Structure 1
Amino acid sequence: MTRYPALHRRVVIVERRLPHYRIAFFTQLRELLRKEGIELLLLVGQGTAEEAKKNDLGHLDWAIRIHTYYFLSGRLCWQPFGTYAKTADLVIVNHENKFLYNLWLLFFRRPRRLAFWGHGRNMQSRAPNGIKELFKRWTVNKADWWFAYTEMTAELIAATGFSRDSITVVQNAIDTNAMADLCRAVSHRDCSQMRERLGLTEGPIGLCIGSLYREKRLDFLLEAARRIRQRIPTFQLVVAGAGPEQQVIEAAAARCPWIHYTGPLHGRDKATVLRLADVLLNPGLVGLAIQDSFVSGTPMFTTDCGLHSPEISYLKSGQNGVMSADDLEAYTKAIVDVLSEPEVLGRLRSGSLASGLEYTVENMAIRFKQGVLACLSR
């Protein structure tokens, strides 16, 4: 049995809701902090009725449930937790305008130390200089410490004048161990069977996988795929996922026999199609789904479209994937060039797998712990 030191300090982290992909992170962070004599209290609320339809919640027996109230159709949220905040050495909250209790902490009941966790700005905002984003930038400097998702996030926060010495870059990640194991277990026979199941002929395969919504730029994807097919006649496109824009893909698949729509894939099927593909194609918004590329060794191709989440900073163009100019011809050429050069594709595959060892939930928990210790030492 592991023996822990006496818990002499307390850290509170508040989550509006607890999605399943955060379970491994909080479990590991709690263990790391206990070894440092620090108690972690994780306060979790409830999502909106619309979010409940996602069926993506996780559960931790030791997490503490708090009341959550929504206003203006979920645009504002009140999560009171003052009882826990006043006994904490450090309170960590997500940095979002909608969290009214953050303002209460900032201006009326400030805890001993207050840290923000997040992006620093809304990367997909249609009004980056609007009042919402201006207010968000104003509050950036009101915290004692920042836990930034990525290096890109840290740069955005520091650009507002916040001290770089008080920013911890956690390298946001999800638990990919199970998918990595599944990918490693995929055999040539599994790939052959999946190829037959999807009706794929011999030739290079581009895969688009994940939620299908406007920011994924599916029309751009389909036109790029058409141009690739003109230059590599055996090229085929597989799209796996669902979402509000899936009818765009369904219609394209009905017109073009070389476009294959599978619907959502999970578990072994997802691992197999990832391993079967030569390249991952996503000319639009890239976020944590980039870890599908790293865990499978299938390089991601995207564009400099300005829609990406901070995790796009994990992509090192020419090393573990490719980011082209935001131009159809440039994107098409980048993909065709790599598919035509097996050695280049092989190097990108190796780079993707190497990145999978760097951007892990285990490393994220370690970085977060280091940030907590640094903040508490102030």
Structure 2
Amino acid sequence: MSRLDSKGFIKMQGKAMAERNRMGSNVIGIVQPFVPNYRVGLFDAIDEQLAEHGYKLEVWHASPRGRVAARGNSAEGRWSVPVAQHRASFGRRNVTFRNIMGRARRSAAVVAGLASTNLETYLLALDPQVRLMLWGHGKNYTAGNNAIDGSIEAWLCKRSHHLFSYTESGKEHLVLRGNDPEKVTVVVNTTDTTRLVAAKALVSTTESKSIRERFGLGGRFVGLFVGAFDGPKELPFLFEAADKVFSENRDFVLLLAGAGPDSDLVEKMASARPYVRLVGRLDTEDLARISTVVDAVLMPGRIGLVAVDALALGIPVITTNYPYHAPEADYLSAGEDSLWTSFSVDSYAAGIDSLVKDRARLAALAAGALDRGREFSAEASAGRFVNGVLSGLTQ
């Protein structure tokens, strides 16, 4: 449905504007634990598109701490509103509370995370002055399902005016739990791929050659890991598999980009391997530059938004059927833009080695990734999000 010429959309927009006038506020608040730098482009686009309909975005967020802070990827934007965040632990369970109720009551709508561990969401759901919408995975991808959590989240969904999921499978799960499909918008999670692709287009042949020389890559096959240095990424698994690949093929190099709580372990393991290069954390421009020398993205553990970046850059992902991938793994199509193996070191090593030796197959996967990557942009995801907000304002 066209945002510009649909009669249905214009009618929905009119209802949303009337709702805004009734409530006396034009603020749409989004609640976040913190703002990762990859969210900036999306929030900028949401802010711009909300403004077209007379609304203003505010992102109410705290600052990361502990293992999350160690990733070094937090950011702020023109829509930032810092809030206090309190956390408590009960055994292995962490719960948080953010004091946002005053802001929520003065806003046209509040979009909170679909999670049972955010205590303020219960207050938002129970307050008749708050128009609550929920944003999340839709189902639990990254851990085992918990019946109590599922029941709580189902209750929260029933009390919300609109729901946002990252994927079609997330929406299907919500619908199966009794939610009206018209009440659920698939946003499609993304990074600022427009900026990323534009940055790559500016990288000269000379600059790309300089990167190869700097890291001693020559004409070898270059695999890139990019992400947090933490447990779910399965870095020891990656090193073990990469050892096997290198033992069979000396034309293999592994670049490691990132930071995190396991940085010391990663640096120790990398220093013992002549084929490994540490390249530090990569911002958008850095990733664009490095991508010009990369043949494949190697992610045996949890895949998240790296899937979107890889597709946008036209780089195949080599991964496994790791049981706790984030929902963005659904964006990859095995055999078309990515290579999937079983979650075993031997299988994964064999998968990498097969592409090291078969450049024609590698090129076909790269072409598939580039084609698929054109479907993702912060602007398109923001448009879906804003349309969902406008729909929720009329419910």
Q: TM-score, normalised by structure 2?
A: 0.82
Aligned in 2, Cα 1:92/1:256: closer, same or farther, shift over 3 Å? closer
Tell me how far 1:106 sits from its aligned partner. Answer: 2.0
Identity of aligned residues (%): 28
Match of 1:364 among 361, 369, 381: 381
Match of 1:160 in 2: 177
Match of 1:75 in 2: 95
| Structure 2: runs of 5 or more not aligned | 1-12, 21-26
The answer to whether the Cα contact below 8 Å between 1:180 and 1:296 also exists between their aligned partners in 2 is yes
Give the letter aligned to residue 62 of structure 2: Q
Tell me how far 1:81 sits from its aligned partner. Answer: 2.8
Match of 1:40 in 2: 56
Match of 1:13 in 2: 29
Equivalent residues, number = 369
Aligned in 2, Cα 1:336/1:13: closer, same or farther, shift over 3 Å? same
Match of 2:4 in 1: none
Inter-partner Cα distance in structure 2 for 1:290 and 1:201? 26
Q: In the TM superposition, what are the counterparts of 1:164-313 in structure 2 within 5 Å?
A: 164-266=181-283, 268-313=285-330
Inter-partner Cα distance in structure 1 for 2:188 and 2:129? 26
Aligned in 2, Cα 1:248/1:26: closer, same or farther, shift over 3 Å? closer
Q: Does 1:115 align with 2:133?
A: yes
Cα shift readout 1:249-303 (whole Å, capped 9, x = no counterpart): 3333333212222333445443232220111101001111223312321111111
Q: Report the 3-state secondary structure (helix = DSSP H, G, I; strand = E; otherwise coil) of the residue aligned with 1:75.
A: strand
Aligned in 2, Cα 1:162/1:298: closer, same or farther, shift over 3 Å? same
The answer to whether the Cα contact below 8 Å between 1:9 and 1:39 also exists between their aligned partners in 2 is no
Cα shift readout 1:76-109 (whole Å, capped 9, x = no counterpart): 2132334643663x432222223323212323x2
Give the letter aligned to residue 361 of structure 2: V
Q: In the TM superposition, what are the counterparts of 1:22-171 in structure 2 within 5 Å?
A: 22-35=39-52, 37-47=53-63, 50=66, 54=72, 56-60=74-78, 63=79, 65=81, 67-72=83-88, 75-82=95-102, 84-85=104-105, 88=108, 90-107=109-126, 109-111=127-129, 113-125=131-143, 127-129=144-146, 131-171=148-188
Q: Report the 3-state secondary structure (helix = DSSP H, G, I; strand = E; otherwise coil) of the residue aligned with 2:228.
A: coil
The answer to whether the Cα contact below 8 Å between 2:222 and 2:252 also exists between their aligned partners in 1 is yes
The answer to whether the Cα contact below 8 Å between 2:142 and 2:325 also exists between their aligned partners in 1 is yes
Inter-partner Cα distance in structure 2 for 1:256 and 1:194? 20
Inter-partner Cα distance in structure 1 for 2:80 and 2:220? 52
- 74-83 vs 193-202, which moves further: 74-83
Give the letter aligned to residue 313 of structure 1: D
Tell me how far 1:15 sits from its aligned partner. Answer: 2.0
Aligned in 2, Cα 1:342/1:45: closer, same or farther, shift over 3 Å? closer
Aligned in 2, Cα 1:34/1:207: closer, same or farther, shift over 3 Å? closer
Cα shift readout 1:29-75 (whole Å, capped 9, x = no counterpart): 2333343x442342524335556674622121xx4737434142673
Tell me how far 1:209 sits from its aligned partner. Answer: 1.7
Inter-partner Cα distance in structure 1 for 2:98 and 2:49? 30
Tell me how far 1:134 sits from its aligned partner. Answer: 4.7
Superposition CA RMSD, Å: 2.9
Larger RCO (CA within 8 A; separation ≥ 6): 2
Structure 1 runs of 4+ off > 6 angstroms? Answer: none
Aligned in 2, Cα 1:39/1:8: closer, same or farther, shift over 3 Å? farther
Tell me how far 1:130 sits from its aligned partner. Answer: 6.1
Match of 2:370 in 1: 353
Cα shift readout 1:155-196 (whole Å, capped 9, x = no counterpart): 232232222221100001121333322222223332322122
- 266-275 vs 47-56, which moves further: 47-56
Give the letter aligned to residue 156 of structure 1: H
Q: TM-score, normalised by structure 1?
A: 0.86
Cα shift readout 1:206-230 (whole Å, capped 9, x = no counterpart): 1112221111111211122122223
Aligned in 2, Cα 1:163/1:275: closer, same or farther, shift over 3 Å? same
Inter-partner Cα distance in structure 2 for 1:217 and 1:12? 38
